[in-house]
Structures are given as C-alpha cells and as structure tokens.
Amino acid sequence: MDSYKLKATIMDEAAMKRAVTRIAHEILERNEGSSNIALVGIVTRGVHLARMIADEIEKIEGSKPPIGTLDISFYRDDVMRHIAPVIHATNIPFDIDRIDIVLVDDVLYTGRTIRAALDALMDYGRPKTVQLAVMVDRGHRELPIRADYVGKNVPSSREEDVRVRIVPIDDCNIVEIWEKTTTEGSEA
Amino acid sequence: MLSVKHLIDTYSLTADDITQILDTAKSFDPIVNARTIKKVPALRGRTIVNLFLEPSTRTLKSFELAEKRLSADSISMGGSTSSVVKGESLADTIQTIDAMNVDMFVVRARLAGTPQVITQNTDAIVINGGDGKHQHPTQAMLDLYTIREHFGHLDGLKVAIVGDLAHSRVCGSLAPALKTMGADVTLVAPPTFQVGDPTWFGCNQTNHLDDVIEDMDVVYMLRVQLERMEGAAIPSRREYNRLYGLSLEREARMKPNAIICHPGPMNRGMEIDAEVADCARSRILDQVNAGVLTRMAEMYLLLGGEE
C-alpha cells in the first residue's frame, strides 16, 4: 500500500465557502435563474457539495433547486479490476427530462468518474443540458471532459493526492494535498 | 468482495458475505423497479452460460433477466438440448463450453454436487442454481432479502420452514443462511419429511404446525413434491393439507406483522390454500422480484473485481 503525508492545506473553510458562493452565482448567471436547474451530486462527497451549493442558491434566489444523488459503481470502466465495497443508492427524485442538470463532484482528475456519471444520468432520461461543478480541478485528464464551474484549479503531480474534506463526512471543510512517501522494501 | 470464489452453498457464506449480497441487491432495486431503462453496463462483455441440466422455469428466467439487466452476454443450455443426452460426460461438456472462454456458469442439476465438480473443470466462476436435494443458495438469498425488506433485519426473527424438509434443497440452503444471520429457525414436518439429524444447524424441530404458528414472524411453506408422493411418505393430499397446510384459519392465528413465503411453484390447496397465497401477508411475488435483484448482486460481486 502507498502511504501519504500531508503536504499543504490549499483551501480553508473560508476559501471553500467563497468558492461555493461563487459557483452558485455562476450557475444562476449561466442558467438565468434556478427555475429549470437541478443538482446531482456524485457519491459521496459530491452529494454534500451539491447540498452546500443548493443552500447558497436558496439564499440568492429564495428557493432551493432539487438535489439528487448518483452512484456510479455499476457504470465504472474498471469493474473487472475492483469493485467498491459499499454501494450507495442512487436517488434522483425528479424527472430529469428537459432539465438543466448540474453534476457535482469534489475532485475532477482523469475524467473517468464523470464519463460514468454521464452514462448513468442518461439512463434516467434526457436532460436539456448537463453541466459540471467541482471543488478542485487537478488536471491529468484521460478523457475529453471539462468542468463548467471550478472552485480552484490545482496543478498537481500524479504522485500526489488531492483530498476535499466536507462536513458531515469529515469534521471540517478544507482541501489538502497529500504526497506519496516511498516506502522502501515494503511489499504492496 | 465475497469470501468465496464460487456460490455453491450457503453454509460457506459469512454473515458479512450475506449482508453484502443483500445490500448490493438493494441498490439494484431502484434501477430495476423504478427506472425506464432497467439495466446497467456493469458486466458488459462478460459471458455467462446457464447450464440447466434439470427443468426449471422461474430460476432460469430470473437468471436470464438478471444477466440482461447487468448487460452480460449469456446463453442458456438445457439437458435435452445439450450433448449430455448424447452420452457426453459432464466434464467434457464443461471443457467444451469452457474452450469458448466463458466467465461464469450457472448450473442447475439433478445430481447433488454437480456445481462443485464443475469448478474443478473450469477456470470460470460457478453459481449453483440448485443441485438435487443439496443446495439452492440463490433461492435462500432472495428469501433473506424478502424477509429483511419486511422486518428491516434478520437477527432474532422466528422463522418456521414447513413441509418436505428431507427432500428440499430450499430448506438446505435457507436454514443455515438464516442461522448465520441470527434468526431462530423451526423446522415443521411430518416425521417422514424431517431432516433426520435432530441437531441439524441448530434448528428447532417439531411435527406440529399448530404448536408454533402463533409465535412465528415468518412462515415459509415448501412445495410438496408430488412426484415423491408415490413412496407413501404422506398418506394423502387431503390429510397433508389438514395437518400441515396453511389454511385461512391458521393464517388468522399468525402474529399481526408476520409474513408468508413460498419458493414456488405452489400447489394451491395442498401446502397452501388458494386464498392464503393471495392474502396481505403473502410475500410470494415479492420473492420473485427479489430473485432478480439478488441474482444480479451475486453475479456482480463474484464477477467484478479480482484484486
């Protein structure tokens, strides 16, 4: 197993809060209000990020957009290599046809999760548009996918791990970079 | 990941394995029962052979549907359409199919132990779809799922399994799985149908349904295998119905929240009265629905992820 040590905290609680507020404004600006949008968070941290953004939108617009949760386990391209131990139920309690969907995830990296999420979403209906909001874009895309709303661009090395911590899964709202420590002689 | 490579029996499964199967099945529920597009690409490109050497309708169709819902490629072969009837040995049949590079066999066989033998003749993963009087693990998982959906848990529940226990692979897999999950199992049957070993998997045993029916959370009626009646194990259809059949009168004595299960196909008027099979307590059609969900979970968990 690779082990990691903390390198830096790149966003604190206040920075994340500001990013969420800005993303909420950008979503509303681009979609001309919240009347036709719904947020879909990718489990698990994307769901809580979606809730934070929805709360901000409610403060601005006075009404909260619908929120769904999406588990992409059954749509992954690496099912044969490993499967996630716990599968969280997908719950999209609204009709997504002709809706502007904002997919929400914590970190955008290779783009494979988003590819799977798009496939999963399309099995629920035909949204008018699908947009992507992430807290961190760390680069290293392996597919032609980009985010529409980004909390922070973080150029990172593949040897690093970018971790977004979100209440209530974690005890605080911060973004950290962890670097891999080479453990000599230890068998993985 | 499950602790077993193949699904042959339930007594090799840990409580954690069973919980994983039931939880995964639960996550398939909204996909299969609420969506317009009832399938996911999880097993795309995987090849599954349903080798049904004994006639089966509901188990085979349930597996076929589960395979389609997971996007696997599958073919079904029956005893009468396979070369087994031409005198080919089982090992040769398996190796022939295996040479076409399949990932999984689902096996239904008259002879107990057949799925286990097949594991020795292939690198593919094997699921037991019912072997003789031995085991029917996928039936047990759908039963546990159905029961857990109703009560929210399995531990501490009192479950009576009623009927032809000695000839029943359903009982053979359900009772150990229930015990593993902490349920209290009572086996109810005439002496000729009892399992024989009084300590079998720590289950209570009785010959009198009327003594226990008021205490039970689940009454699980087994099909009386009419083809076995020739041996005069039970005197008559009517007498069996009188002593062991689930009548409306017995149904009325059950606990308010208790449920009735049956693996099908039913002999209405024999082990279960027609009105009881359709009453509010009956979970018989829920069991059929759970069959697809749990079989999806088993195939997904066994075929996905080898690391």
Quick check: A73 contacting B, CB < 8 Å? Answer: yes
**Structural domain boundaries in chain A:** 12-76+89-158
- CATH 1.10.132.50 is the classification of domain B137-283: no
State the DSSP H helix or E strand holding residue B164, giving kind and residue range, or none if neither.
Answer: none
pLDDT of residue B231: 63
User: Strand B47-52 relative to strand A160-165: parallel, antiparallel, unpaired?
Assistant: unpaired
Whether the pLDDT of residue B235 is over 80: the answer is no
pLDDT digits (tens, 9 = 90+) for B242-265: 999 999 999 999 999 999 999 999
Least confident of B10-19, B138-147, B195-204, B253-262: B195-204
CB contact under 8 A, B41 and A73: no
Best of A43, A71, A74 to disrupt the B interface (most B CBs within 10 Å) is A74
Q: What is the rounded distance in angstroms from the CA atom of residue B178 to the CA atom of residue B188?
A: 15
Strand locations in chain A (E): 3-11, 37-42, 67-70, 100-108, 129-137, 149-153, 160-165, 174-181
Cβ-Cβ contacts under 8 Å, B36 against chain A: 124-125
Collapsed DSSP state (helix, strand, coil) of residue A141: coil
pLDDT greater at residue A109 or residue B91: A109
Residues 89-128 of A with CB under 8 A from B: 89-91, 119-120, 123-125
- Give the ipTM: 0.78
Mean pLDDT of chain A: 92
Å from A117 to nearest chain B CA? 12
Q: What is the rounded distance in angstroms from the CA atom of residue B9 to the CA atom of residue B13?
A: 8
Collapsed DSSP state (helix, strand, coil) of residue A5: strand
pLDDT of residue B232: 63
pLDDT of residue B55: 86
Quick check: B23 contacting A, CB < 8 Å? Answer: yes
Q: What is the mean pLDDT of residues B205-228?
A: 92
- CATH 3.20.20.70 is the classification of domain B15-135+288-303: no
Q: What is the mean pLDDT of residues B220-241?
A: 79
CB contact under 8 A, A90 and B23: no
Q: In the structure, what pLDDT confidence band is assigned to residue A181 with cuts at 50, 70 and 90?
A: confident
The pair phi, psi for residue B158, each rounded to 5°, is: -100, 120
B175 token code pair: 């009772």
pLDDT greater at residue B136 or residue B224: B136
Whether the pLDDT of residue B93 is over 70: the answer is yes
Identical fold for domains B15-135+288-303 and B137-283, yes or no, is: yes
Cβ-Cβ contacts under 8 Å, B35 against chain A: 123-124
Q: In the structure, what pLDDT confidence band is assigned to residue B307 with cuts at 50, 70 and 90?
A: very low
pLDDT digits (tens, 9 = 90+) for B41-70: 999 999 999 999 988 889 999 999 999 999
Under DSSP, the state recorded for A85 is: S
Peptide bond into B263 cis (omega under 30): no
Chain centroid offset of residue B172 CA? 9
pLDDT of residue B304: 81
Under DSSP, the state recorded for B193 is: G
User: Strand B259-261 relative to strand A37-42: parallel, antiparallel, unpaired?
Assistant: unpaired
Whether the pLDDT of residue A186 is over 50: the answer is no
The pair phi, psi for residue A168, each rounded to 5°, is: -100, 5
Q: What is the rounded distance in angstroms from the CA atom of residue A117 to the CA atom of residue A103?
A: 8
pLDDT of residue B306: 54
Least confident of A126-130, B26-30, B226-230, B235-239: B226-230
Mean pLDDT of chain B: 92
Cβ-Cβ contacts under 8 Å, A120 against chain B: 40
Whether the pLDDT of residue A1 is over 70: the answer is no
CB contact under 8 A, A89 and B26: yes
**Structural domain boundaries in chain B:** 15-135+288-303, 137-283
Percent of all residues in chain A with a pLDDT value above 90, rounded to a whole number: 83
Strands in A3-11's sheet, in edge-to-edge order, are: A3-11, A174-181, A160-165
Assess contact for A120 and A72: CB atoms under 8 A: yes
User: Strand A3-11 relative to strand A174-181: parallel, antiparallel, unpaired?
Assistant: antiparallel
CB contact under 8 A, A85 and B26: no
pLDDT digits (tens, 9 = 90+) for A19-76: 999 999 999 999 999 999 999 999 989 999 999 999 999 999 999 999 999 999 899 8
Architecture of domain A12-76+89-158: 3-Layer(aba) Sandwich (3.40)
Whether the pLDDT of residue A13 is over 60: the answer is yes
Quick check: B33 contacting A, CB < 8 Å? Answer: no
